[in-house]
Structure 1
């Protein structure tokens, strides 16, 4: 199937729908900041609709595998991002003097390394029955298994972390 036009179309649709989801979430956040509640609500529901489309297309493309395979894929993706993608992005942003992009890419790169390690840990503990909680830094995307005093990547107070 991976050589078919339908597969390519499913993957292109997945990419487009995924990007639309995030774009609409950003628009919703801006509308909320401007006090435009109805527009914010519309952007949020549209973002969720785009997510439904993306998830179905990814599934139909045969990309959702076993949990173990999905964790391994997560490791591969996160490792590529922190070892290859973000270092190049940081270098280019530095060359262009874009300090805000350098900071955003650096935060993301460091967080992606943590994500890869957490996926590895999940594989090692795949049959653990005790529930694990995760805590997300809302600024840099760092994930911890316990609430830290402050984020080791961006220094946000641990009280700001979101529990999952």
Structure 2
């Protein structure tokens, strides 16, 4: 699809809807923790609605390709994040003395490196038919192919990992 105003708008809408999803998910967690169950449900419903919008915009923008192309794109994105984006963010956070951000960016950077390797592995084994399970650390976003004793990035017990 050629670059057009509509394509530019689709991608801007996709970015906005994607951010709204995450924002409303965070608001839902806070509302739940505060005991505001109705607000939490509304935020979760709205987050899911924003996801529906984002997915349709991304689709009609022509951004969903073959699985192999999508895996290559994912490898590239994750690699950029752990080699360029997060190291720069960590440098800035250090300069500002933001230890909370340094920790968050470091966890994300290390997890993104794992994600890139897993995407590359999936690409290399695309014809594999044996089912693979993945386990997500709910704290740092690390993904493992087996439940670890503890997360290799943040130390969370493996019993906390979420199975996919």
Q: TM-score, normalised by structure 2?
A: 0.99
> Size of the alignment, in residue pairs?
164
Render the CA deviation track for 1:78-116: whole Å, top value 9, x for unaligned. Answer: 000000000000000000000000000000000000000
Partner of 2:59: 59
After TM superposition, the structure 1 = structure 2 runs for residues 12-161 of structure 1, keeping only pairs within 5 Å, are 12-161=12-161
Q: TM-score, normalised by structure 1?
A: 0.99
Q: How much does 1:124 deviate?
A: 1.2
Structure 1 ranges of 4+ moved more than 2 A: none
> 1:149, 1:157 within 8 Å by CA — same for their partners in 2?
yes
- CA-atom RMSD, angstroms? 0.5
Q: How much does 1:2 deviate?
A: 3.6
2:146 and 2:63 map into 1 onto residues whose CA distance is 31
> 1:2, 1:8 within 8 Å by CA — same for their partners in 2?
no
2:114 and 2:3 map into 1 onto residues whose CA distance is 34
| Stretches of structure 2 lacking an aligned partner (at least 5 in a row) | none
1:97 and 1:26 map into 2 onto residues whose CA distance is 25
In the alignment, structure 1 residue 4 sits paired with structure 2 residue 19: no
1:9 and 1:27 map into 2 onto residues whose CA distance is 26
Q: How much does 1:3 deviate?
A: 1.7
